[in-house]
Chains A and B, each alone.
Chain A
């Protein structure tokens, strides 16, 4: 158990809908990262927040947004969902701000768009 929690574990929704994925980092970690992992793809970095501020951006679509709250938990919002958004979404956390720091991954949220 990495200490990173994600909810929900599974999510099934229809195209065009909007969903929110939630992540709580390990105690003491200030950075939260979001990743997307599709069936045939490796982990794709989406976005990083550090202590409430956006720190780095990866391949995040405009339909997706994220935020980190004062208690350091983070939410990833996915809107106007398409079939291709079906994937595993992982959250990870680390102590500092550097992208190269050791990241502890949560168990993931499996999103299925029908």
Chain B
């Protein structure tokens, strides 16, 4: 069964620090992998999208990396801000049946 697993489940860091969130998937072959940011009680917003041939994609202080060989992706947040407090969701698109599989997300808390 195709799965998307995210770790850690939750993370607390101090404002200004960097952090890295992990996404491991078994979906194969896959078309693309997205990272979404979801503020509490709001809808998710797309941060980055990568195809299988891309290794890295940046969006401001957010940098996503992808290793298609090990089926791992990470989202690195630089110089965290209080507004980064949110859930970050990894979503993988299955190439064969064109379905998308959502991870359960990592809940990030930034402390002042």
Contacts and interface: CB of A to CB of B under 8 A. Distances in A.
A45 B43 contact: no
Contacts of A108: 41-43
B73 to A, nearest CB: 15
Contacts of A102: 34, 46, 49
Contact of A98 (B44, B89, B98): B98
Contact of A99 (B41, B46, B49, B100): B100
Contacts, number: 45
Interface stretch (B18-26, B75-83, B102-110): B102-110
A41 B41 contact: no
B98 A42 contact: no
Given A99-B93, A100-B32, A100-B93, A105 B43 contact: yes
A2 interface: yes
A102 B98 CA distance: 13
A88 B41 contact: yes
A94 B103 CA distance: 20
Contacts of A90: 43-44
Contact of B102 (A2, A4, A42): A42
Contacts of A99: 93, 98-100
A106 to B, nearest CB: 5
Contacts of B49: 102
Nearest to B31: A100
A52 interface: no
Contacts of B43: 2, 4, 90, 92, 105-108
